[in-house]
């Protein structure tokens, strides 16, 4: 028989079951109040996480769908992620939580989960589970997790940081190759305090699952330059107020990286970084825009219309303006066709009729007979730059600046 002092936990069970029933109404069912956790997050690598402590968070994992356990997999063709909570204050602890995972159920599935972690970390905890069934096969593109501590001890309300659940996500047998978002539902993700009030966290941190391809690099501050590049290029990868120095548009005549200099050159000896996020390294942009060495400080701009084709500087993949379909400031079939007409650039080298360095967007011959070859146009047709959020540029969004 439960202690009278712990009866409010039963009310919380009813409250969280109501969250389940209301999940499809579009209502905001977890309210935000002071004293909430700083974050509820999806961590694609549970290493270092425990019920009461967190390691570093990994925002993406990769699956190779081949019937074997490889890549980042924890099981065959699947990964185990942690859903975690960070810095829940002791002044407003949790007796329960709920979260919803929004994902593409036509390609992925939640196949298993393990709870009794953060919420069961204190002696005397008794966990009531009301999570959705696994494997998740209802076609709703949502999996809802619910746990409540119904133990008799009123002092088992948890606070601090830790893993809420281990969740195993698998790639379906016919899953298409690509990168899939794993999103925490903002209407159904939060903790329940001992007074049965919902607490939405300050932040929800989502993740991605790559199937049959590598995970794209991360852009922590959302400034459309990958962290690994920004750290080399003079910007702060953790601050949207500091980015590698640019010279175009609103970025001209200001200090973009936050130092006292205006439109200065990028740091030296970083040729393999992509400082403007357009998908091309400094080496490639210096090559196609020579003698200019500022191509990696300007991601957009008009495509070349006449010789010399290396001016204006901008986006090396943008080889065509206008046309049908309109190729202005975007990459589509119009850009690919320029490798063939009106002048054939493909399969040429310096000295050949038709060769122009502007089409040698992957410098060198890449082991082929000619400098401009299939590697160059294949790259234009398939690259996915940071400035487009890792979305493929071909038939994708226009350059954002």
pLDDT over 90 percentage in the chain: 71
Residue 11: pLDDT band (50, 70, 90) is very low
Which band of pLDDT confidence, cut at 50, 70 and 90, is reported for residue 34?
low
Is the same domain home to 366 and 273?
A: yes
- Residue 112 pairs in a beta bridge with 168
Is the model's pLDDT at 313 over the cut of 60?
Answer: yes
Instruction: Check whether residue 147 and residue 266 sit in a common domain.
Output: no
Whole-number pLDDT of residue 326? 93
Instruction: Count Cβ atoms below 10 Å from residue 137 Cβ, excluding itself.
Output: 12
Q: Which residue has the higher pLDDT, 13 or 372?
A: 372
Final residue in a domain of this structure, among 160, 188, 211: 211
Per-residue model confidence (pLDDT) at position 65: 92
Question: pLDDT band at 305, cuts 50/70/90?
Answer: confident
Q: Residue 394's pLDDT band (boundaries 50, 70, 90)?
A: very high
What's the pLDDT at 35? 62
User: Is the pLDDT at 106 greater than 50, yes or no?
Assistant: yes
Do 244 and 180 lie in one domain? The reply is: no
- At residue 22, the pLDDT reads 36
Cα–Cα distance, 59 to 45 (Å, whole number): 8
Question: Do 201 and 58 have their domain in common?
Answer: yes
Give yes or no: residues 197 and 307 share one domain.
no
**For residues 267 and 270, what is the distance between their CA atoms, to the nearest angstrom?**
7
Same domain, 49 and 133: yes
265 and 325 inside one domain = yes
- The answer to whether residues 206 and 72 belong to one domain is yes
pLDDT, residue 17, reads 41
Which of 211, 246, 271 is the endpoint of a domain?
A: 211
What number is the average pLDDT over the span 32-38?
Answer: 68
pLDDT digits (tens, 9 = 90+) for 145-190: 999 999 877 676 899 999 999 999 999 988 988 889 999 999 899 9
**Cα 247 to chain center, whole Å?**
27
Q: What is the mean pLDDT of residues 279-301?
A: 95
Task: Report the pLDDT averaged over residues 391-395.
Answer: 91
Q: Give the distance, in angstroms, between the CA of residue 136 and the centroid of all CA atoms in the same chain.
A: 23
Alpha carbon distances (Å) from 183 to 43, 83, 141, 212, 362: 11, 11, 11, 20, 35
Residue with tokens 């008799």: 152
Residue range of the domain that includes 321: 218-401
Calculate the average pLDDT of the chain.
88
Specify whether 206 is located in the same domain as 101.
yes
- Residue 249 shares a structural domain with residue 108: no
The count of structural domains within the chain is 2
Domain containing residue 159: CATH number: 2.60.40.680
């Amino acid at each position: 028989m439960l202690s009278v002092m712990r009866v409010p936990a039963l009310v919380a069970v009813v409250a969280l079951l109501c969250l389940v029933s209301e999940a499809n109404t579009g209502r905001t069912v977890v309210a935000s109040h002071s004293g909430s956790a700083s974050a509820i997050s999806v961590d694609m690598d549970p290493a270092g996480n425990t019920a009461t402590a967190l390691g570093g968070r990994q925002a993406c994992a990769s699956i190779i769908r081949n019937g074997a356990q490889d890549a980042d997999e924890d099981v065959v063709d699947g990964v185990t992620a942690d859903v975690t909570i960070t810095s829940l204050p002791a002044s407003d602890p949790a007796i329960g939580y709920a979260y919803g995972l929004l994902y593409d159920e036509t390609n992925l599935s939640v196949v298993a989960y393990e709870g009794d972690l953060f919420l069961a970390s204190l002696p005397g905890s008794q966990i009531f589970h009301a999570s959705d069934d696994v494997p998740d096969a209802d076609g709703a593109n949502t999996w809802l997790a619910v746990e409540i501590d119904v133990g008799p001890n009123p002092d088992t309300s948890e606070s601090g940081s830790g893993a809420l659940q281990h969740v195993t996500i698998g790639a379906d047998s016919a899953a298409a190759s690509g990168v899939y978002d794993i999103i925490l539902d903002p209407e159904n993700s939060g903790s329940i305090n001992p007074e049965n009030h919902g607490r939405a966290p300050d932040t929800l941190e989502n993740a991605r699952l790559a199937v049959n391809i590598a995970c794209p690099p991360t852009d922590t501050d959302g400034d459309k330059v990958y962290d690994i590049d920004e750290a080399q290029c003079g910007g702060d990868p953790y601050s949207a107020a500091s980015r590698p120095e640019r010279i175009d548009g609103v970025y001209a005549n200001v200090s973009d990286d936050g130092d006292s200099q205006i439109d200065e050159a990028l740091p030296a000896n970083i040729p393999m970084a992509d400082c403007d996020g357009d998908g091309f390294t400094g080496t490639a942009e210096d090559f196609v825009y020579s003698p200019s060495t500022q191509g990696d400080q300007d991601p957009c701009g008009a495509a070349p219309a006449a010789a010399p084709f290396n001016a204006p500087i901008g986006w090396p993949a943008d080889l065509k303006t206008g046309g049908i379909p309109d190729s202005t400031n975007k990459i589509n079939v119009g850009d690919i066709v320029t490798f063939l007409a009106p002048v054939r650039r493909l399969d040429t080298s310096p000295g050949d009729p038709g060769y122009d360095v502007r089409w040698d967007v992957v410098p060198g011959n890449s082991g082929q007979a000619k400098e401009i070859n299939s590697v160059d146009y294949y790259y234009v047709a398939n690259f996915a730059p940071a400035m487009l959020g890792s979305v493929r540029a071909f038939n994708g969004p226009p350059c954002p600046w």
